[in-house]
Structure 1
Amino acid sequence: MLSSFFRRIDPFAVFAVTVPLAIYLLTLAPSVTFFDSGEFITAIHSLGTAHSPGYPFFVNYAKPFTWLPFGSIAFRVNIATALSAAAACYGVYLLVMTLVAHDDSTDRAMSRYVARGCAMSAALAFAFSSRLWLQSNHDKPYPLVAFIVAVVFWALLRFRARYDKGEECPHYVYLGAFLCGLATGAHQTIVLMLPAFAWLILSRDWRLLGRIKEFLLAVSFGLLGFAIQLHMPVRALKNPLLNWGDPRTLDQFLWNLLRKGYPSDPPHRDAALLWQQMGAFNIPKEFTWVGIGLLVLGLVVSFRRQRDEVIAYFLGIATSLLVIVGYFNTQPDLIFLTEEFFTPLYLLSAVFMGVGLFWLLRRALANIAVEKLTSVPVKVLVGVFILLLPATICALNYYENDQHENYVAFDYASNTFRSLPQGTVLYTWGDSGAFPLWYLQGVERMRDDLDLLHTPHLVFRWYLDAFPHLFSRSMLRSVPESLQSAESALKMAVAEQIGSRPVFIDFSTRYSLPFNEYGMQQRGIAYQLVKGGSNTIYPPDLSVWSLYSARGYTSQMGFRDLDTGKAILIYAMGRLEGGETLLRAGYRSQGAEELRLAAAVAPELRGQVEQMLGAFGLR
C-alpha cells in the first residue's frame, strides 16, 4: 500500500514546490522588515485589522504560523509567506501540465517526463523571479493572491474541458467564484483578473449567459468568500492591538474597505511619467530576454488550439494596466509599490514560458530514435536545457534577495527605543519609521512605558480613541477631520503634552515640519523637543550611540530596498547633524569625529563632510 502511494507521487511536482521553499527559507528575513511588515505582523498576532483594505484573509491565513515553537513572531509570519509563494509555484506547474496534457506527441519523443520537466522549469523560473522572491522572504499577501489566481485559472480550464465532453460541471465555476471572493481579503487586485476569468467561462459557450440559476449560485459563492471581510467588524468589537479604522460600524467598515483614508492628488502625467508607470510591469527584468522569447513562443503555439486561454492572459494584462497605470496614475515616488500588483500576471507568463519550452523540446527530440531518448547523454542534455533558465534567474537574483541577515528594521526600531527616556511620547512620520516600532512594542513587548503616535493618524477620531489617556479631553477632538491637517494636529498635541512628559520626534518628523517654537536636542536618531528653548543650541547627547546595535547598518548584506537604504542614511545623517551642531558649539574634536563616522556609515556623504570640515577650518 505504501509503495503504491509513493509511486503515484510526481517527483517533478514535489521539486517544483520544495526547491523554491528551501531557497526561500534559506533567504528568509529573520525578523521584521520595513514598509508594511511591522503593521502586518502586529495585525496577524492580534487578529486585528491592517491598513485599508484590512487584509482579513491574509491575517487569518498567517495567524496559525504564529503558533510555531521556534523563532520570533515575525520569522514565523515570514514562513507563512514563503509557503504561499511555494504554493504559487506549484500553481505554475499545474497549469503548464494542464495546457500540454493533450499534446499528441507525448507518446513518443516528448515523454510525459519531459513535459513534467518543462512544467517544473517554468515553476522554478517563476520562483526565482525578483518580484516573487522579494515577496516570499518576508510578510506579503501577494503570493497568496497569485496562488489563488492559479487555482481559479486551473478550475476554469477543468470546467472548459468537461464542458467540451458534454459534462455539466458548474462546481468548478462555483469554486472559482468562492476563491475570488476570499482573495479580496488578501488583496483587492484579484478583481483585475475577473475579466480574464469571465472570458474563460463565456468564450466556451455564450449561451451560458442565459443560465440565471447558475449565475446567481456563482454570485452567492463569491459573496460567501467575500464574507471573510466580516472579520474586521467582528474583531473590532474585541479592541485588538491593531485596529486600523476601528471598523465596528458600517461607515468605518466602508471607510477601510474602500480605502477612503488615502486621499491623493494624481500628478499631471506626461509621456515620461506614463512610460515610467508602464515599466512597473517588466517581464524582461523578471525572466530575462530568454524568458521573453519562450513566452512569445508559448503564446504563439498556444494560440492555435488554446486561443481563449491566450486571450484571457492578455485581458488580465490589459485590465491591470488600465486600472493600475491608467486610473491610479501613481506618483513617481510611489510607482515601485505598484510593481507588486502584477505578480499574478508574472505567474501566467511563466506558464506560457513552460509551454514554449515544451514546444522547443518536442521539436528537438522529434527525430531522435526512441532507444536514444533513454541514453544518459540525452537525459543530461535535456536536463541542462530544462534547468538553464531557472538556474540563471536564481544566480542573478540570489545575492540581492538574500535577507537572512536583514536586521536593519529590527535594529532601527530597537535603537530608537534606546534613544528615549522613561515615559516618553514619540511622534513618528512614515510607515517604515512607525511600523517596526509597533511590532517591537506590541508583539515583542518592548518599552511598554512609551506612547508611540503616528502623526498622519492624529486627524482621525478612531485613532484618538485608541489613546484615551492622551486624547480623551484633547482639543484635537474639537476640530472636524475634514478641516484638520497632520501638521496642525501634531503641533496641537505637542503643546498639550510637552509640559508633563518628555516629547520626542523621529528623524522623518524632524525634517517634515519646522519646529521654530521649540528647542531641540538630538539623541542619536531621535530628537527631544524643549519648551521655550528655540534660541538655544543644545549639543547632542552622544552617549546613546554606544547603546546602539550596529549590525543593522554595517553588515555586507546584499539586500537593499528603498527604506533599508534610507534607514542606513538616517544613521549617517544623525552623525552628520550632531557633528555640525558640535562644531557650531565649539567642540571641534568631537564634531570632527562625528563627521568622520557619518562618512564611514554612508560614503556618499564624504564630499559633504569634507566641505563642512573645510568651513570650520578642519581637514
Structure 2
Amino acid sequence: MTTSPERREPPPYLFAVLCGLAVFGIYVATLAETTAFWDTSEYIAAAYVLGIPHPPGNPFFTVLAHAWGALPLAGLYAVRINLFAAATSAACAGLLFLVADRWMRNVVTVRWARLAAAFAGVLVGALAWTVWNQSTVNEKVYTVSMLSTALVLWLGVHWADDEPGAHKDRWLVLIAYVITLSSTNHMMGVLAGPAVAIYVLLTDPRTLLKPWVLWLGLFTALAVSGKWTALVDGSPADKGVVLFLLVAVAGYTALRDVGEFRRPMLWLSILAVVVGISINYLFLPLRAAQFPPINEGEPTTWAALMEVLNRAQYGKPSVLMRQADFPSQLGNYLQYFNWQFARDWSPALARVATLLFTALGLSGAAALWVKDRRAFWASLTLMGTLTLALIFYLNFKYGFSYATNPALGPVPREVRERDYFFVVSFSCFGLWVAVGIGALMQAMADLTKRSLATPAGALAGAPVLGLVLIPILGNHTTASRANETLARDFAVDMLESVAPYGILITAGDNDTFPLWYAQEVERVRPDVTIANLSLMNTRWHLRQLARRKEPPFDASRAAAIWKDHAGSSRPARPSCR
C-alpha cells in the first residue's frame, strides 16, 4: 500500500490547538459562575464527594471530574467543574478540526483555505446552541462523550494514514480502549464505533478478517453492551449466544492459524477492553461500599450493580413499543436542529439560518461523495448513527414543546426538552459544514478563474468564512450561562429557612439536587436532612437516611434568624428498623 501525497502532509496540530483555545475562550466568557438546575448540581456534588450519581452511575466522569476539581483553577468548586465541561468540549472541537482538515484534502487543495474552512465549520458545530449551552455549565456528562467521539474519529483517521507495519495495529487497540472507557461515562461515547468500522473497511478490508481484530471487536461489543454478564446471571438463551460467538471466533482463529492464540496483540487487545470497562465493575461497588453522601442505587451487590448499569429504576419499554410515533420523534429532532444556529433571533430568521447551514452541510457531504467516498460513507454512518439510529433507540415520548395534531388529544410528553441527547450530532454536523464552506470557497474562486492561492481567488472565497458569525451572534444571549445564580440562591434560601436539625421534604430533581450541592460542596446547613419523596420508594434512599449523621449546627454560618440556636443539639431520633 502506497502513501498518497496528501496523506504525507503532517496533521496541523498547532492550528487544532489554536482552534480549541478559541472555542474555550468563548465558553469561558459565557461560563456559569455557580451551579444550575437539573443534573448540574448532582454531578458537581458527586464529583466533589466522589459519589455515585443517578444510574448508570457515570464512574469515569466522576473520577475524571474529581481529579480535575482538585486543580487550583478557580476559587469556587462549581466553576472548576464548569471549566471541565468547557475544556472537554473545546478539546472535542480541536480534534474535529483535525478530522475536517484531513477529509477536505481532496476537496480544497490550498492549505490556508482548508484550515480556514475547517476552523469555521468546527466553530459552527461548537457554537450550536445545545453544544454551547452544555459547555458553559456541567449539566450532563455529554461533553466527555463529545470528546471521546472526536478522539475515536481522529484515531481512526490517523490509523488509516499511518504507514503500514506492525506498529499500525496499536491505533485500533487504542480506539477499542477509548470506546470501552467512554462507555463507563455514558453509552453515547460508543456511537462513533460504526463510523470507524466503515472507515477501516473502506481503507483495508483485510484488516477486519484478522483474528485478533475479530477478538477485539467481539470483546468490545460484549463489554459496552454489558452482554458478557450473561455468563454470570443471564438466561440460557443469552448465555448460548455469547458462548456461540466466543466459540465461533475461536474456531475461525484456529482455522486461520493456531499460532494466533500466542500473538501478543490478541491478548493486548483483550486486556485493553477489560481495563477500559473495569471501572464500571470495580469503582461503583467499591465506592458504594464506603457509603459516600451521594450513593444513588447503592450498588454494593451484584444485583444492585446490574440494576444501576441497566437503569432498571427508569422502567423504559422496549424500542418495539413506541412511546410516540417515529415521524413525530424525527420531527422533534428537527425542531431541536432548528434551534442550533440562531436561537436568539425571530423564528423566521432562525429558519433561514437553519436552511443555510443545512444546505452547507449537505453540500459538504456531496463534495465528499465526489472527492472522497471513504470519508463520505464514514461521515454518513456517523450522522446516521447520531440521528436516525439514536432517535429510534431512545424512543422518547412526544417532545415537551413539540406541536402535535390536536386530533390526537392529550399525549404523553417528556418532562423536559431532550435536545442534549443529540448534542454530539450537532457538534459533528460541523464536519459537513466545514467541507461545505471549503467547497463554496473553492467555487467562488473558480468563478473568478483564479486559484485560492492567489490574492484574487482568496478575495473571492474568503467572505464565505463570515458565515461563522451567525451562530456567534444568533446564540450568544440564550446559550450563555453568565450571571445565572438562581439554582444556588434557591438552595441556600431553602436550607436557611429550616430550623436547626430540620427536615426538608422534596420531590424532584430541581428541588433536590441544588440542596445536595449547597450542603456537600459549600457546606450550607449540613445539619438539615433532605428526604426525597420520589426516592423514598427505594430501599437504598431509606437506608441512607437512616445512616445519616448530621454534623453539629453551626450558628456562625447560618442565617441571622437562627443565631439564638447556637449550641443546640439534635433532637433524639426514633429508632429505624
Please indicate the TM-score interval, normalised by the length of the shorter structure: 0.7 to 0.9
**Cα deviation, residue 283, structure 1:** 6.0
Q: Is this contact kept in 2: 1:16–1:90, CA < 8 A?
A: yes
Aligned to 1:72: 76
Aligned to 1:173: 172
Q: Given the alignment of the two structures, is residue 334 of structure 1 paired with residue 414 of structure 2, yes or no?
A: yes
Aligned to 1:43: 46
3-state SS, counterpart of residue 248 of structure 1: coil
**Cα deviation, residue 385, structure 1:** 2.4
Aligned to 1:33: 36
Q: Given the alignment of the two structures, is residue 307 of structure 1 paired with residue 373 of structure 2, yes or no?
A: yes
Figure out how many residues of one structure are paired with residues of the other and give that number: 460
**Cα deviation, residue 326, structure 1:** 2.6
Q: Given the alignment of the two structures, is residue 222 of structure 1 paired with residue 273 of structure 2, yes or no?
A: yes
**Cα deviation, residue 364, structure 1:** 2.5
3-state SS, counterpart of residue 427 of structure 2: helix
**Cα deviation, residue 71, structure 1:** 2.6
Aligned to 2:143: 143
1:243-301 CA distance string (max 9 Å, x none): 11111221111111111111246775347743544436526734732211111111111
Q: Given the alignment of the two structures, is residue 57 of structure 1 paired with residue 60 of structure 2, yes or no?
A: yes
Q: Given the alignment of the two structures, is residue 325 of structure 1 paired with residue 397 of structure 2, yes or no?
A: no
Change (3 A) 1:295 1:138: same
Distance 1:357 1:98 in 2: 15
Q: Is this contact kept in 1: 2:52–2:294, CA < 8 A?
A: yes
Distance 1:271 1:158 in 2: 37
3-state SS, counterpart of residue 427 of structure 1: strand
Aligned to 2:236: none
Q: Given the alignment of the two structures, is residue 129 of structure 1 paired with residue 128 of structure 2, yes or no?
A: yes
**Cα deviation, residue 34, structure 1:** 0.5
3-state SS, counterpart of residue 16 of structure 1: helix
Change (3 A) 1:72 1:381: farther
Alignment map for 1:200-215 (pairs within 5 Å): 200-215=199-214
Distance 1:45 1:442 in 2: 8
**Cα deviation, residue 441, structure 1:** 0.7
Q: Is this contact kept in 1: 2:148–2:182, CA < 8 A?
A: yes
Alignment map for 1:191-590 (pairs within 5 Å): 191-217=190-216, 219=219, 220=270, 221-229=272-280, 230-264=282-316, 269-270=324-325, 273-279=328-334, 282=337, 285-286=340-341, 288-321=354-387, 323-332=389-398, 333-334=413-414, 337-366=417-446, 375=455, 382-386=461-465, 388-468=466-546
Change (3 A) 1:236 1:331: same
Change (3 A) 1:247 1:268: closer
Q: Of the two, which has the highest radius of gyration?
A: 1
Alignment map for 1:96-115 (pairs within 5 Å): 96-102=100-106, 106=109, 110=110, 112-115=111-114
3-state SS, counterpart of residue 170 of structure 1: helix
TM-score, normalized by length of structure 2? 0.73
Q: Is this contact kept in 1: 2:297–2:308, CA < 8 A?
A: yes
1:197-256 CA distance string (max 9 Å, x none): 322222334443431123324532233222232221221222222111111221111111
Distance 1:467 1:120 in 2: 51
Alignment map for 1:153-168 (pairs within 5 Å): 153-162=153-162
- Bigger RCO of structures 1 and 2 (CA < 8 A, at least 6 apart): 2
1:440-488 CA distance string (max 9 Å, x none): 01111111221001111112222222122589xxxxxxxxxxxxxxxxx
**Cα deviation, residue 437, structure 1:** 0.3
Partner amino acid, structure 1, of 2:91:
A
Partner amino acid, structure 2, of 1:223:
V
**Cα deviation, residue 370, structure 1:** 7.4
Q: Is this contact kept in 2: 1:35–1:432, CA < 8 A?
A: yes
3-state SS, counterpart of residue 531 of structure 2: strand
**Cα deviation, residue 380, structure 1:** 6.3
3-state SS, counterpart of residue 449 of structure 1: coil
Distance 2:48 2:548 in 1: 25
Q: Is this contact kept in 2: 1:277–1:330, CA < 8 A?
A: no
Change (3 A) 1:276 1:362: closer
**Cα deviation, residue 167, structure 1:** 7.7
Change (3 A) 1:371 1:145: closer
After the TM superposition, which of the residue ranges 271-280 and 185-194 deviates more from structure 2? 271-280
**Cα deviation, residue 92, structure 1:** 2.0
Partner amino acid, structure 2, of 1:114:
A
Partner amino acid, structure 2, of 1:208:
T
Q: Is this contact kept in 1: 2:340–2:426, CA < 8 A?
A: no
Q: Is this contact kept in 1: 2:61–2:141, CA < 8 A?
A: yes
After the TM superposition, which of the residue ranges 443-452 and 302-311 deviates more from structure 2? 302-311
Q: Is this contact kept in 1: 2:445–2:452, CA < 8 A?
A: no
Distance 1:168 1:340 in 2: 38
**Cα deviation, residue 369, structure 1:** 8.0
3-state SS, counterpart of residue 356 of structure 2: helix
3-state SS, counterpart of residue 400 of structure 1: helix
Query: Which sections of structure 2, spanning at least 5 residues, go unmatched?
Result: 1-10, 220-269, 342-352, 399-412, 550-570
Distance 1:78 1:185 in 2: 20
3-state SS, counterpart of residue 30 of structure 1: coil
**Cα deviation, residue 393, structure 1:** 0.7
Partner amino acid, structure 2, of 1:171:
R
Distance 1:310 1:184 in 2: 26
Distance 1:15 1:383 in 2: 19
Q: Is this contact kept in 2: 1:24–1:137, CA < 8 A?
A: yes
**Cα deviation, residue 67, structure 1:** 2.3
Distance 1:92 1:438 in 2: 36
Aligned alpha-carbon RMSD (Å): 3.0
Partner amino acid, structure 2, of 1:199:
I
Distance 1:335 1:320 in 2: 22
Query: Which sections of structure 1, spanning at least 5 residues, go unmatched?
Result: 1-7, 472-498, 502-619
Partner amino acid, structure 2, of 1:189:
M
Aligned to 1:613: none
3-state SS, counterpart of residue 512 of structure 2: helix
Partner amino acid, structure 2, of 1:79:
L
**Cα deviation, residue 12, structure 1:** 3.9
Distance 2:364 2:453 in 1: 24
Distance 2:457 2:450 in 1: 11
**Cα deviation, residue 400, structure 1:** 0.7
Distance 1:416 1:58 in 2: 29
3-state SS, counterpart of residue 279 of structure 1: helix
Distance 1:200 1:9 in 2: 21
1:86 to 87, 90, 107: 90
Change (3 A) 1:280 1:42: farther
Change (3 A) 1:289 1:335: farther
Q: Given the alignment of the two structures, is residue 187 of structure 1 paired with residue 186 of structure 2, yes or no?
A: yes
Question: Percent identity at matched positions?
Answer: 25
Distance 1:289 1:456 in 2: 43
Distance 2:415 2:382 in 1: 19
**Cα deviation, residue 339, structure 1:** 1.8
3-state SS, counterpart of residue 530 of structure 2: strand
Distance 1:331 1:40 in 2: 25
Alignment map for 1:594-605 (pairs within 5 Å): none
Q: Is this contact kept in 1: 2:117–2:434, CA < 8 A?
A: yes
